[in-house]
Amino acid sequence: MGRRSTAELGDRMTKNVVVAMANLRLVFGLLSSVLLVVSCVEDRHTALRSPQTPRRQFPEGVPSSVAPLVSRHQLRLDNGLASTPPMGWNSWNHFACNVNETVIFETGLAAKGYKYINLDDCWAALQRDSQGNLLARATTFPSGIKALADYVHSKGLKLGIYSDAGYYTCASQPGSLGHETQDAQTFASWEIDYLKYDNCFTDGTKPEYRYPVMRDALNKTGRPIFFSMCEWGIDSPATWANNVGNSWRTTGDITDDWNSMVGIVELNNVWADYAAPGGWNDPDMLEVGNGGMTVEEYRSHFSLWALMKAPLLIGCDVRNIGAEILEILANEEVIAVNQDPLGVQGKRVRMDGFSGLEVWSGPLSSGRVVLLLWNRSSESANITARWSDMGIPNDTLLTVRDLWKHETISEAEMYEICQEVPSHGVKMFILTPVSQIYLKRESYSHKMD
Ligand code: GLA
């Protein structure tokens, strides 16, 4: 099959984008506006392969109850990526095997930091070529993956691809088991930036043995390729994968419904202390905008993923989303929690029995704290979070910023916050200490009186 030139492809795709954009009501459209502020540090030569376990530096005042117990990163994929969780778009949750290059180009989502455009399963031909190389599927990717990568790069974005640590992928394209070096070289020659690596049709050996083979093959290419491990949490990857990948799935596949999302949050929360810059727990891609949950539920889903420092990989058809969904995916204040440079996964700090009323929290840079009130119950309810739930001294004066209302609550002396939270909804805040020292001095002088 002859490949079209990049220029031809670019022209054709530009036309497609223009047509698609005409139908968009919202800002998400033009590919040129997707050019994103990239917060990841991608200097592969500065990082890693340190024989020492680097200790995470917490700023003073980070409450110990929400700080992780251990700092574990030692050897790791030698690519210097993932200083913050990856953000982008993945084809699977919405398009599954109906992905094609037109869809990819039209997915010129303009969002605030979503830079990876990731092909999932079904991009490859069912047979390798006579030299054993992977090939793009001729019917759906006639231009080839290198041309796609060139186009994506020309828009300031990055291209991700998908393979499997088994003989076949889950949808039966060739897997990379036994072909790791060759496939990693192929991906590097196509200038791929991200590899999702699945776990179907294996030889029965443990993921601990199969995944490092691809890690080493990627390292050998010399190209920084984000390594997204997808072994579904079956072998507790959080406990060993920080040496292997930039992220690791902690659960099976998400589906677009409330119970699936809630179950995944529970499973992912178990591993909170193992996430850190360079390697993140991955509770699977976002379902926001796919239609199976209410807007309130999607707001919870997105807030929890942000707080848990999960990869923010949009999984919907961004050409067809409404204003409310766009507002969720583009909420810069919530995204900033996810991309906070401190890189500590937030977790549940309090739940009131089986009421479904929960308080989640985690430290952020500059001594700030993120607070999430989550109502899992079927009725609207008041949820109270005490500063002590988050290890903050009661006399701490804080500013409280509502990340969904985009309002700052007054600096009144408070030691708790109580808010009505709708059923299946959240309220999300950043707490910023303003004058702890002043208050301490005052209470000291009262004692002296
Ligand atoms: C597995 C993965 C999914 C998706 C499909 C593709 O189920 O967990 O995320 O990649 O395979 O076949």
- Read off the pLDDT band of 48 (50, 70, 90): very low
* Ligand 1 atom index nearest CA of 196: 10
What is the location of CATH 2.60.40.1180 in the chain? 347-437
Ligand 1 geometric centre to CA of 232 (Å) = 9
d(CA 138, CA 140): 6
Q: Is residue 78 flagged as an active site residue?
A: no
CA distance 353 to 258: 20
Is 253 tagged catalytic?
Answer: yes
Which pair of tokens denotes residue 402? Answer: 């509502």
Is the pLDDT at 17 greater than 50? The verdict is: no
For ligand 1, the distance from its centroid to the CA atom of residue 165, given in whole angstroms, is 12
Judged against a pLDDT cut of 50, whether residue 39 lies above it is answered with: no
Question: Does position 268 have pLDDT exceeding 70, yes or no?
Answer: yes
Q: Give me the amino acid identity at 67.
A: A
Comparing 105 with 137, the larger pLDDT belongs to 137
Residues 6+ apart with CB under 8 A from 57: none
Instruction: Please say if the pLDDT value at position 201 is more than 70.
Output: yes
170 Cα–ligand 1 center, Å: 6
pLDDT tens string 233-257: 999 999 999 999 999 999 999 999 9
Q: Residue of the nearest CA to atom 8 in ligand 1?
A: 253
* Under 8 Å between Cβ of 284 and 255: no
Catalytic: which of 198, 256, 284, 340? 198
Residues 87-339, CATH architecture: Alpha-Beta Barrel (3.20)
User: If we measure between CA atoms, which residue out of 255, 211, 213 comes closest to residue 230?
Assistant: 211
Q: Is 198 a pocket residue for ligand 1 (Cβ < 6 Å)?
A: yes
Output the CA 410–ligand 1 centroid distance in Å. 46
For the segment 154-180, the average pLDDT, to the nearest whole number, is 96
Is the distance from the beta carbon of residue 120 to the nearest atom of ligand 1 less than 6 Å? yes
301: pLDDT confidence band, cut at 50, 70 and 90? very high
pLDDT at 97 exceeding the cut of 70: yes
> What angle separates helix 207-221 from helix 180-189, to the nearest 10 degrees?
40
Mean pLDDT of 107-118: 75
Q: Give Dmax over CA atoms of the chain in angstroms.
A: 89
Q: Are 280 and 246 in contact (CB under 8 A)?
A: yes
Q: Whole-model pTM?
A: 0.83
Nearest protein CA to atom 6 of ligand 1, as residue: 121
Q: Which amino acid is at 434?
A: V
Q: Please, which residues bridge with residue 279 across strands?
A: 276
282 lines ligand 1 (CB under 6 A): no
Backbone angles phi, psi at 194, to 5 degrees: -155, 135
Q: Which regions of the chain carry the CATH code 3.20.20.70?
A: 87-339
Enter the CATH code of domain 347-437.
Answer: 2.60.40.1180
